[in-house]
Amino acid sequence: MGETLQAPRGTRDLLPAETGRWARVEAALREVFARYGYGELRTPLFEHTELYVRGIGEATDIVGKEMYTFADRKGRSLTLRPEGTAGVVRAYAQHGLGQGEAGEAKLFYLGPMFRYERPQAGRFRQFWQAGAEAIGYADPMADAESVAMLVAALRAAGLKDLSVDVNSVGDAETRAAFRARLVSFVEGWSGPISAESRARCAVNPLRILDSKDPQDAELVAAAPKVTNHLGTRSSAHLASVLRHLDRLGVPYEVNKALVRGLDYYTDTVFEVLSADLGAQSAVAGGGRYDSLVGQFQAQPRPAVGWAIGLDRLVGLLEQRGLMEGSGGARAAVCCVGSRAFARGLALAEELRGLGVRTWFDPSGRRSLKSQFKQADAEGCLLALVLGDDELDRGEATLKDMRKGGQAPVALAGAAAEAARRLAGD
């Protein structure tokens, strides 16, 4: 007998008990996207490798270490998408999605991404992201609205006690000058430093400020902060974003150590943290990227956006008991005897036609006790019970699965009565 195949390392199957919970989180996010006027964009799972090298930056860990890159049958280099923004911007430019003189478009995406990382708790090589991109919006109001939408999305998913860390990484000129200042500081540093940060000093020094390695804690605390070296325009932009957040009632702190790891970020960067997770923990983030669109079309466009890692979000909601139940069936049809099962099949279909998620055992072999047990596991609130005696009387028994009470109902109106009670639940 051949060896049993398993999912590749760093991937997993989402089983039916899990996908119901995922679907509700995704539905909550989609409702928020619609509320803010964002349209869904679905990009290919793979793109030309050049898209990510040009868009994300060759010096980033994603491009340098983590991409799944392969040659197709004609030798063209393709890459499974490691993040969503570059593909959205490519599609925006390719299809002329911008509206008006400034080329405005509000787009969201939801789907799997791929990075070759060391598998660990909550981190997978195939993972899921939801993200939102507002392209063509230069005003700081767009930054504040994007932050507010991210907070609203996380609240809709189930997190409640949220706050925001905000910072600015400045424009391209500021970043270049600060990069040189930071490299000089790190090269003169005599304290502890991790091997990874030492390597980053040559290729992507701003990532050092994002290091979570305990060896780098003292270095990160002492390092210069880009916020202290902003130009006049970037300082004014940040101040305006903060004023708009105040008007929107979004709680925030200016975190001068906050940076984002991708090269395309400019000016505003932000992360949302949740006290629902115990100690303050970042659950999502994003920022402004005014220089990225101009790499894919002649006319540059400002943009701001964010992404949520859904694997992490759903996992944290489950750990903290903030996730709703399984979301299975709401009613069951449980039967005893072949005649009852034959009638029960039609009764279950009648319930489904009324919009009720219904569990029914089409094998016709389970005991009534076993059917009740499965209905309870599915989360059913009501059960319609049929046996030969009930059929002869033209009745069904309506059983409350939570309180245990039961009462006879006319079989002809049983489905409608169950649907009515569930609607009022």
pLDDT digits (tens, 9 = 90+) for 54-75: 877 655 666 667 899 999 999 9
Same domain, 417 and 337: yes
Q: For residues 138 and 303, is the Cβ–Cβ distance under 8 A?
A: no
Same domain, 266 and 411: no
Which of 319, 352, 373 marks a domain boundary?
319
- Residue 188 covered by a domain: no
Same domain, 28 and 136: yes
Q: CA separation (Å) from 60 to 14, 46, 174, 290, 293?
A: 30, 19, 19, 18, 19
Sorting pLDDT into bands at 50, 70 and 90, what band is 382? very high
Percent share of the chain, pLDDT over 70: 94
Q: Give the residue-averaged pLDDT of 165-186.
A: 87
pLDDT at 160 over 90: no
The residue behind tokens 């005014």 is 290
**Would you state the pLDDT for residue 202?**
75
Q: List the CATH number of the domain containing 125.
A: 3.30.930.10
pLDDT digits (tens, 9 = 90+) for 8-37: 999 999 998 888 889 999 999 999 999 999
Q: Give the residue-averaged pLDDT of 209-214.
A: 80
User: By three-state DSSP, how is residue 39 classified?
Assistant: strand
**Would you state the pLDDT for residue 425?**
65
Kindly report the length of the chain: 425
Same domain, 273 and 364: no
Q: CA separation (Å) from 298 to 10, 204, 206, 291, 292?
A: 39, 27, 28, 12, 11
Closest CA to 164 of 259, 271, 309: 271
pLDDT digits (tens, 9 = 90+) for 327-355: 578 999 999 999 999 999 999 999 999 99
Burial class (CB in 10 A: 0-12, 13-18, 19+), 155: middle
Same domain, 268 and 410: no
- Residue 66 covered by a domain: yes
373 is in which domain, residue-wise? Answer: 331-423
The residue behind tokens 């390392």 is 9
- Residue 76 covered by a domain: yes
User: How many Cβ atoms from other residues are within 10 Å of residue 56's Cβ?
Assistant: 23
Q: List the CATH number of the domain containing 341.
A: 3.40.50.800
pLDDT at 214 over 90: no
The residue behind tokens 């694997």 is 311
Print burial letters for 157-173: b (CB count within 10 Å at least 16), e (below 16).
Answer: bbbeebebbbbbbbbee
Same domain, 390 and 366: yes
**Would you state the pLDDT for residue 325?**
52
CA 386 – CA 334 distance, rounded (Å)? 6
Same domain, 20 and 118: yes
Sorting pLDDT into bands at 50, 70 and 90, what band is 210? confident
Sorting pLDDT into bands at 50, 70 and 90, what band is 211? confident
DSSP letter, residue 101: T
User: How many Cβ atoms from other residues are within 10 Å of residue 422's Cβ?
Assistant: 18
- Residue 259 covered by a domain: yes
CA 232 – CA 211 distance, rounded (Å)? 28
Same domain, 53 and 90: yes
Closest CA to 291 of 282, 280, 281, 302: 302
Q: Give the residue-averaged pLDDT of 82-100.
A: 94
- Residue 8 covered by a domain: no
pLDDT digits (tens, 9 = 90+) for 32-41: 999 999 999 9
Structural element, H or E, at residue 151: helix 140-157
CA 106 – CA 161 distance, rounded (Å)? 27
**Would you state the pLDDT for residue 261?**
64
Same domain, 273 and 370: no
Same domain, 135 and 52: yes
**Would you state the pLDDT for residue 421?**
92
Same domain, 152 and 48: yes
User: Tell me, what amino acid is at 206?
Assistant: L
User: By three-state DSSP, how is residue 109 classified?
Assistant: strand
- Which residue would you say has higher pLDDT here, 202 or 379? 379
- Residue 199 covered by a domain: no
- Residue 195 covered by a domain: no
Q: CA separation (Å) from 364 to 178, 270, 272, 349, 398?
A: 72, 56, 51, 15, 20
Closest CA to 287 of 253, 257, 263: 263
Counting the structural domains of the chain, the total is 2
Same domain, 257 and 399: no
Sorting pLDDT into bands at 50, 70 and 90, what band is 408? very high
pLDDT at 268 over 60: yes
pLDDT at 279 over 60: no
